[in-house]
Structure 1
Amino acid sequence: MKVTVVGAGGNVGSTVSMAVAQRDFAKEVVMVDIVQERNGEKIYPSKGRALDQWESSPIHQFDTKLTGTVDYEDTANSDVCVITAGVPRRPGMSRDDLLETNANIVQGVVEKLVEKSPNTILIIVSNPLDVMAQVALETSGFDSKRVMGMAGILDTARYRSFLAEELNVSPKDIQALLLGGHGDTMVPLPRFTTIAGMPVTQFIDEDKLESIVERTKKGGGELVNLMGTSAWYAPGAAAAQMVEAIMLDQNRTFPCAAHLNGEYGQKDLFLGVPVKLGHGGIKEIIEVDLNDEEQQLLDTSAEHVHSVLKEFRKLMNK
């Protein structure tokens, strides 16, 4: 089993690589990034990070080999490829501000990956995620079940962690579901949120729950403001969980950015919805019954994704 992570010289990519290695199901994780220059000297972040992480293998007790490279030849015959390459957010930026730059990066990366691994599965982490997944789908020519975006697992994890902190319960016991685009228009669904099977509304008042929902929507921006750059630990862990579910054929149900073709009343766009992940990628898109308010919020989120996608096509045709 072989996993490639592109952008692995950066924080998110290197965290994905380490999280996959520590799970110890893959034979090799190939960490790809570009050659950089510092003070007139060439540096190789992906090679350095790979070596550093491999040196921790006796401590963490894993056998997965970590290989750092700048050559896509080393990615050949990868089972899953995770794309984290792109410019990270800075304070004051939205995910959408990254559109043109990251679209060009993702397009170039996908072309190189599919040439070497035509049967691979693509997991997109680069922002704006929903549109970058569309770029990957169109560039690769893959069946849509083999292209997906990492968003819902991360957003749901943030929501669950905030609830656990507020209610002083274990995050392990909180189950939740978020839909929609990866951004401020995401749609947390308190109606589907439980603590050990019990409705969360039995534990928290409506106003406090709503404040946690709003914090979740702006969770990425909160971290950008605190650190001056995008988060990496939780996004990396979320992507690694997707890789594991696919490669071990676990049939896990997660919210992910999937390409919709009529589901939830949406067509020809990526949107966060619950899916079943296993061998081959997305085995099933699961449709839950939404009430009128929830459907309206999801439609609004989809409209935003459509608007960013429209802007992307305008930029690419200028």
Structure 2
Amino acid sequence: MAISRRKIALIGGGNIGGTMAHLCALKKLGDVVLFDVIDGLPQGKALDLLQSAPVEGFDANIVGTTSYEDIVGADVCIVTAGIARKPGMSRDDLLGTNSKIMTSVSEGIKQYAPNAFIIVITNPLDAMVTLCQRVTGFPKEQVVGQSGILDSSRYRTFIAQELNRSVESVTAMVGGVPVDRLISSERLDEIEQRVRMAGGEIVSLLKTGSAFYAPASAAVRMAEAYLQDKKEVLPCAALLEGEYGVHGYYFCVPVLIGAGGVEKVIEIDLAPGEKSAFDESLSHVQDIVGAMDRVLAEA
């Protein structure tokens, strides 16, 4: 009898894609299809991962491919395809290149995996998840961007390091104690600034690449919440249609993820300082989406 497992399509076979494939297998979330346009790359990674199955004790089928036909029936598609911004590259150059890639990817998903829950990682995130939803035409519940989970994880990591505590003890509190009672406001400001610059810090250290372990873990966490109907509240980039007074933009807010995808946007009361930061971030989102629209119009 054939074994029926969920199917996870990873669009982009780079470091993030390969790491996600490994995590999905280890967590036994389902079979994995690793897609990339570079022939040999996804096939080689898939074969290597598959050969680790007897050691790690998972039975998932892992396939590498350059054909969108192999993602047929996917329950989840996680999109990492795109290029990173290189020295000397303008924002519009990055938008132009990644918009073309995202358009092609979205068309492939629309044709071969129309029922999939899509998680977008490609940068610039707010613009790319917007474009993906536009091209696929999927409902807002079905397309989401990986956003605040990564920042939250980085923040918890730095707080745990500062206090020499387990990361499992750190949320907004540390062992039940509000973090601002344990760390001075000045030091918290420094840690928050480090979180904002965390991606750049890793790039400066690697010199020829960018972060991939933590982004992969964050995206797989979202997929897991959907596949296992966890009804988990996670900070993600969701399409807002009136929530928080925002209409028609993807923005990072707390959302409930379960078998219905983005089942609910959680609205919370914002303090004046939080509202100011919210509005500033929203203006950046509006700016990048507007820039993408201009680039697409000129193409």
Q: TM-score range by the shorter chain?
A: over 0.9
Q: Distance in 2 between matches of 1:291 and 1:270?
A: 21
Change over 3 Å in CA distance of 1:306–1:158 after alignment to 2: same
- Structure 2 residue matching 1:105: 3-state secondary structure: helix
Give the superposition deviation at 1:93: 6.8
Give the superposition deviation at 1:94: 8.7
Change over 3 Å in CA distance of 1:249–1:98 after alignment to 2: same
Give the superposition deviation at 1:230: 1.4
Name the structure 2 match of 1:21: 25
Deviations 1:268-313 (A, max 9, x none): 1111111111102111110111101101110100000100111110
Which residue of 176, 180, 190 corresponds with 1:211?
A: 190
Stretches of structure 2 lacking an aligned partner (at least 5 in a row) = 1-5
Name the structure 2 match of 1:185: none
Deviations 1:15-45 (A, max 9, x none): 111111110021x10000013xxxxxxx510
Name the structure 1 match of 2:137: 141
Q: CA RMSD in A?
A: 1.5
Q: Distance in 2 between matches of 1:64 and 1:49?
A: 14
Give the superposition deviation at 1:95: 7.6
Which residue of 25, 31, 34 corresponds with 1:31?
A: 34
- Structure 2 residue matching 1:63: 3-state secondary structure: coil
Stretches of structure 1 lacking an aligned partner (at least 5 in a row) = 36-42, 176-192
Q: Distance in 1 between matches of 2:90 and 2:165?
A: 32
- Structure 2 residue matching 1:78: 3-state secondary structure: coil
Instruction: Count residues with an aligned counterpart.
Output: 292
2:91 counterpart of 1:99: no
TM-score, normalised relative to structure 1: 0.89
Contact 1:95-1:127 within 8 A present in 2 as well: no
- For 1:199, give the aligned amino acid: P
Q: Distance in 1 between matches of 2:42 and 2:166?
A: 35
Aligned sequence identity (%): 40
- For 1:83, give the aligned amino acid: V
TM-score, normalised relative to structure 2: 0.94
2:218 counterpart of 1:238: yes
Q: Distance in 1 between matches of 2:49 and 2:90?
A: 31
Which residue of 80, 88, 100 corresponds with 2:76?
A: 80
- For 2:285, give the aligned amino acid: V
Name the structure 1 match of 2:234: 254
2:9 counterpart of 1:4: yes
2:288 counterpart of 1:308: yes
Give the superposition deviation at 1:173: 1.2
